[in-house]
């Protein structure tokens, strides 16, 4: 994988839909609404284990250049996640997405994965792919506020600080999602305690009001496009 540029760790919409079909077959009668954690453990890891690569590279051994970076949280419904993206893009089948669970190798040990991901967030495949992709898509979910996850907050800060991309927002937030709170925005956490200080430093260096950005995305209507400098209440346009 190290010989393939991170911006080419892509999966097409068609391949994502085929993964959804596998998930339906795998979980039928057992769990009708698996989240991404379930899919990674029971579908992606078993398929990738012997090849020691990510799911995207398993499907596309020479890589496939991404045009859409997807920001999302793993506790979402996987099938709803795929359906939201499918419904948003008319060219879904051929569009190439950078999605962390498919792009990054999920079977690698923590130490080996750290070497691949880099020791600063700005050097990580996330940041490299985010800057290369033409579009930045936020897929919200009704399970939990995605901005309680620090990687989601960091991605939003990076796209605003280092690119001129608009933020496309789809999906719905949980009914009681809050814009600010003890675990939202700058107060968010992540699954790896070692990453928290690193990501907080990255957000601080970006020099943007990330809590304000988080609030804009939470308030935005599904299908909104938040242009640089816009607010969810006035300068959004729908695709």
What are 102-129's pLDDT values in tens digits? 999 999 887 776 666 666 778 888 999 9
Residues 6+ apart with CB under 8 A from 211: 179, 180, 184, 185, 186
Q: CA-CA distance, 71 to 126, in Å (whole number)?
A: 10
What are 40-56's pLDDT values in tens digits? 999 999 999 999 999 99
Confidence class of residue 198 from pLDDT cuts 50, 70 and 90?
confident
Region for 223 from its dihedrals, namely left if φ exceeds 0, alpha if ψ lies in -120 to 50, beta otherwise: left
Residue 161 per-residue DSSP state:
H
What is the three-class DSSP state of 228? coil
Q: CA-CA distance, 47 to 49, in Å (whole number)?
A: 6
What are 44-102's pLDDT values in tens digits? 999 999 999 999 999 999 999 999 999 999 999 999 999 999 999 999 999 999 999 99
Q: CA-CA distance, 6 to 132, in Å (whole number)?
A: 9
Residue 179 contacts residue 218 (beta carbons within 8 Å): yes
Q: CA-CA distance, 130 to 167, in Å (whole number)?
A: 12
Burial class (CB in 10 A: 0-12, 13-18, 19+), 182: exposed
Confidence class of residue 197 from pLDDT cuts 50, 70 and 90?
confident
- Strand duo 68-71 + 135-139: pairing: parallel
- Strand duo 236-238 + 224-226: pairing: antiparallel
The whole-number average pLDDT for the span 155-171 is 96
């Amino acid at each position: 994988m190290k010989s393939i540029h991170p911006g080419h760790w892509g999966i097409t919409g068609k391949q994502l839909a085929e993964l959804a079909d596998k998930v339906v077959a795998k979980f039928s009668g057992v769990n009708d609404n698996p989240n991404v954690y379930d899919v990674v453990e029971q579908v992606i890891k078993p398929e990738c284990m012997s090849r020691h690569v990510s799911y995207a590279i398993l499907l596309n051994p020479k890589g496939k250049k991404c045009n859409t970076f997807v920001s999302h949280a793993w506790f979402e419904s996987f099938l709803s996640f795929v359906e939201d993206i499918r419904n948003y893009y008319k060219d879904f089948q051929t569009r190439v997405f950078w999605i962390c669970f498919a792009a990054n190798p999920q079977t690698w040990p923590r130490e080996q994965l750290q070497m691949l991901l880099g020791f600063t967030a700005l050097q990580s495949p996330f940041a490299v792919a985010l800057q290369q992709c033409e579009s930045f898509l936020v897929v919200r979910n009704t399970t939990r506020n995605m901005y309680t996850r620090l990687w989601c907050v960091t991605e939003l800060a990076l796209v605003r600080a280092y690119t001129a991309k608009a933020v496309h927002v789809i999906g719905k937030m949980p009914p009681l999602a809050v814009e600010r709170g003890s675990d939202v925005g700058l107060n968010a956490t992540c699954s790896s305690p070692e990453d928290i200080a690193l990501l907080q430093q990255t957000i601080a260096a970006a020099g943007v009001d990330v809590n304000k950005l988080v609030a804009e995305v939470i308030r935005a209507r599904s299908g909104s496009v938040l242009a640089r400098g816009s607010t969810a209440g006035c300068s959004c346009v729908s695709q």
